[in-house]
Structure 1
C-alpha cells in the first residue's frame, strides 16, 4: 500500500509498504481522508520532534524514523481483530490517535491520561498513520461516527477535539465573551465549539482571508485586524469596559499573548492552546494585579465523543474549514508547501491516501 514516510526534516517519501496486521483487539481501517496538521509541518521543517529519531525507538511503540505520518483521519472499517465485538466491518470511524502505556487508566475517571509519561501520537510516534492507505488501531482509540457525517469532514474531528478540550480547560459558559488570538485551524475550531455553547466570540487575526472565513462560517461574532484597530479597545467597547471573560492564545506570537493579557477582564481565564518553540517575555506583574488565571492545554482527554456529537447534531459545521483536497502524491508540493509558504490562502488541506475521494 502507499504511505507517506517521514525520514527526517525535509525528507518525506511516498513509498510502498506492507499492509498492517489486524491483531486481536485492533480494528483495521481503510483511511478515507487525513488532514495536514501544524505538527506535521513542524516535523517537516524542524524535526524530528515527536517522531523518534532514526535508531532511537520510542519506548512504547518501539519504532523510530522512518514512520508513516498522519494523525487527523477518518475511514471505514475493513476488518476487526479477535475480541472486538462492538465495531463492525463497514462502520465509519475516526481515531483518537494516542500512543499510551497499557497500564494507564484511559477511562472517564482519568481526565489526564494524555499527560502520562512517554505519551505520543499515532502518525508521529509510530503505529502507522493516516497518510497511509490502511491502518490497524487498538479498539480503545476508535470512535464510530454516523454514516450521515461525510468522511472528509470527519477528518476534522481530531482538531475539533483539541478545541473542545481547550474550551473545557477554560471553563467558558453560555453568556461569556471569549477573545481568540489567531484564526488558524485550531483558533477557528475552538471558536466553533464556543459558539455551539452559546459564547460570544471575538477574534483577532492579521490575514484577511482567515478573518473572512471566521465571519462567513459563523464561528465569530466580531473579527478585528490588529493592524487596523486597537483590539483591546474594541473588546472593551463590546463588553462595556469590562474585558473578555476568557481568552485563547492560538498563535505562539508574543504580541498576541500580551494583547490577550490586556483585553481579558480581572480574574478572567487565559488558555494557551498553541505550542511554543520559544520562551516569551511575560508580564508577571499584570498577571498578579489582574488575578488572571493562566492555563495550558494539550490534545484531548475523552473529548472526541463531545466533538462528534456537536457535529452530528448540527451545532458545528466543518465543511467551511476544508480549503483543499489532494492526493498522496501531492502531499509536499500542494500540501506542505502551500501551508508553509502561502498559509493565508488555506485553512485545512486534507489528503486522500488512496485517491478514492478525489
Structure 2
C-alpha cells in the first residue's frame, strides 16, 4: 500500500510499503480521511529522534487521524462499516500493571503511532483495535475529528489541574497544544485564559476566541500582565505548553498561593526549576504524558459545538502532496497553527 514514508532525516517519500491489511478479532479496518501534522512528526522529520526514540529504519508518519470504517473483525459489536471515527493512537498491553491501574498511557510497552519503530497512519487504510476507535458525531467533520488527538492532550492537562468554574488560567505557548489546552480549560469553566507567546500572528488567532486574553511577552512581562489582570493575586492554574526552556524562569511568579502548575510541553533538555518559588506558594505541580480515558469526552465536547476548531486549520493538502505538506509545515510560519492532509 502506498504511504508517506520517512526514509531518513529530511527525506520523505510516497511509496509502496507492506502494512497489515487483515482485520483480526476485535479490530477494524479504517479508510483514512484526514491526518494532522504534529510537532512530533516534524521533529522526527527534521532531527531523526525525540528523546530516546530514534528513527533507525523507514517509518510511516502521522498519528492525528480520522476516517471511515470499511471492515470489522470478529467480535466487534460497537462499530460497523460506514461509521465515521477517530482513533486513539497508543496501543498498550492491557494486562500490564499500568493499564490495570487505568494508566495505560504510561505502559512501557505501549505502541504509539509514528513513534519508532511503530508505523503511523499516513496511509490510505489502517487496521486498529476497535476499543481504541470512537464514532464521530454527525456534526463533526473528518478534519475536526483529526483534532481529537491533540485536544485529548488539552483534556488530560485540564483533568490534572482540577479546574473550578470561574478560575483564571495562564497558558504559556500559543501553538497547537497551547490552543487545545486553552479551549479545554474554557470548556471546563475557567472565566478566562491569559495566553502568552512571542508570535503576534498566533496570538491574533488566539485572541479571536472569547475568553482568551493574548499577551505578547516580547513586549510585556507575563508576570506583570497576570498581576494586573488578577489584582496582584496570580492565576489559579498555569499550563506550560510551549516546551521552551525559557518558560520555566519565573513560572511560579504567575501562579497564586495554593495554585497549580501543569507541565504539558516537553523541553528539549533539562531545565532549572525554582523549587523555593514553588514552596513559598505551596504550588501544586502536575505533569502529563499524552492522555488516558479522555477520548469519549473529547469527542462529546466537539459534538456539543462548544469548541470551534475550524479557525485552527491553517492549510490542507491532498495525500498525493504529503511531502509538500511536510515541507510547508516545517517552515514554521507564525500564522500557521495546524496543517492537515486529506485523502
CA distance in 2, matches of 1:127, 1:296: 25
Shift of the alpha carbon at 1:70? Answer: 1.0
CA distance in 2, matches of 1:247, 1:326: 35
Q: What is the TM-score when the length of structure 1 is the normalising length?
A: 0.89
Alignment match, 2:232: 241
CA distance in 1, matches of 2:156, 2:300: 14
Matches within 5 A, 1:19-58: 20-49=21-50, 53-54=55-56
Alignment match, 1:3: 3
Alignment match, 2:245: 254
Shift of the alpha carbon at 1:342? Answer: 3.1
Shift of the alpha carbon at 1:340? Answer: 2.8
Alignment match, 2:92: 100
CA distance in 1, matches of 2:18, 2:306: 40
Q: Which moved more, 1:180-189 or 1:289-298?
A: 289-298
Matches within 5 A, 1:43-82: 43-49=44-50, 53-54=55-56, 65-82=57-74
CA distance in 2, matches of 1:224, 1:32: 36
CA distance in 2, matches of 1:23, 1:53: 28
CA distance in 2, matches of 1:315, 1:309: 10
Stretches of structure 1 lacking an aligned partner (at least 5 in a row) = 55-64
Contact 1:8/1:48 (<8 A) preserved = no
Asked if 1:300 corresponds to 2:291, the answer is: yes
Q: Which moved more, 1:138-147 or 1:68-77?
A: 138-147
Contact 1:33/1:75 (<8 A) preserved = yes
Alignment match, 1:193: 184
Contact 1:74/1:155 (<8 A) preserved = yes
CA distance in 1, matches of 2:153, 2:48: 22
CA distance in 2, matches of 1:328, 1:227: 38
Matches within 5 A, 1:331-342: 331-333=322-324, 335-342=325-332
Cα deviations by residue, 1:73-114 (Å, 9 ceiling, x for unpaired): 00000000111122100000000101312423787x743111
Matches within 5 A, 1:212-291: 212-218=204-210, 220-291=211-282
Stretches of structure 2 lacking an aligned partner (at least 5 in a row) = none
2:334 counterpart SS class? helix
Alignment match, 1:130: 121
Shift of the alpha carbon at 1:42? Answer: 1.2
Contact 2:153/2:177 (<8 A) preserved = yes
Alignment match, 1:347: 337
What RMSD, in angstroms, separates the aligned Cα atoms of the two structures? 1.9
Count residues in correspondence: 340
CA distance in 2, matches of 1:331, 1:42: 16
Q: What is the TM-score when the length of structure 2 is the normalising length?
A: 0.93
Alignment match, 2:200: 208
1:152 counterpart SS class? helix
Alignment match, 2:109: 118
Contact 1:68/1:124 (<8 A) preserved = no
2:249 counterpart SS class? helix
